[in-house]
Each structure stands twice: as structure tokens, then as C-alpha cells.
Amino acid sequence: MIGPSLLRNDLTAVRLRLKLDGWFGDLIPPDMLAEWAQHHGRRGFLAAASLLNAKTDHLSPVARLLVRKADNPKEVLSQLFANLASGTFVGPISSHLEGQLSILKSWAQDEEPRIRSWAEATITSAEKGVKHQKLLEEEGKF
């Protein structure tokens, strides 16, 4: 019932995704979620990745499985990284970005080559974002 609803293009689907993003996927057995994602192609992989908690130094077994099985693992990793920006936080934006960068650096040490190379390639951009944000904050323009 949830699977087809996630892939719809209406307000109900948007609301459902907002409620389930970042945690629900961790409750589903990895093989089941990966099979569902494969069955639905690119949209399935992105939807499945959006359901996972990526706010950890090490990706979960289900996230790793999605990366291995995806035709385009970079898209899945980009979605997982985008999950880090979801939710709320307090304090300077630069501190939040530094936390994301720290997680990204942990991913760059991953044993999975696809995860490691994607993270290594993304670190430079993330470091530039932190630097830029700190400059804005220093100038009072954050």
C-alpha cells in the first residue's frame, strides 16, 4: 500500500514522503527494499534512498545495497547526502554544513569503492560551501 503511494505525483504522495523520509526505509528488510527499488527503476531507487537515515558516519546495510544495485549509484548517493540537509537544526548554518562535511569525510573512508570515490569527489564542493557560508556569517549576511 505504501510503495505505490510513494511513486504517485499528487499531494498525498508528497505528504507521505515528507512523513517517511529519513527513517522508514530502515524498518524494511534490505533485500525487500532493494527488490522494490529495482522493480521501479530510477524512481524506485531514489524513493528508497530518500526513506533512509543517512545522518551517520557509516551508511546502513540497506543504503550500501542500494548503491551496489543501482544503475546510477551516484544518484543514490546524492539522494542519501541530500537526506542530511532535511529536518531542523539550530545554530549557525556553517556548523550544520561542517557536520555534513564530517559525515562525508567518513563516507570517503568506506570500503565500498563507489561510496568512497563519490564522497572523495564531493568533499571539495562541500568544503567550498562551508567556507562560503562562514564568510557570509562573518559579514552578517548569512
Contact 116, 109 (CB under 8 A): yes
**pLDDT the model gives residue 22:** 87
User: What stretches of 22-140 adopt beta strand conformation (E)?
Assistant: none
Rounded to two decimals, what is the model's pTM? 0.88
pLDDT of residue 142: 67
Give the integer Cα–Cα distance in Å for 80 and 19.
16
pLDDT tens for each residue of the chain, 142 residues long = 888 888 988 998 889 988 998 889 989 999 999 999 999 999 999 999 999 999 999 999 999 999 999 999 999 999 999 998 877 778 899 999 999 999 999 999 999 999 999 999 999 999 999 999 999 999 987 6
105: region left, alpha or beta (phi > 0 left; psi from -120 to 50 alpha): alpha
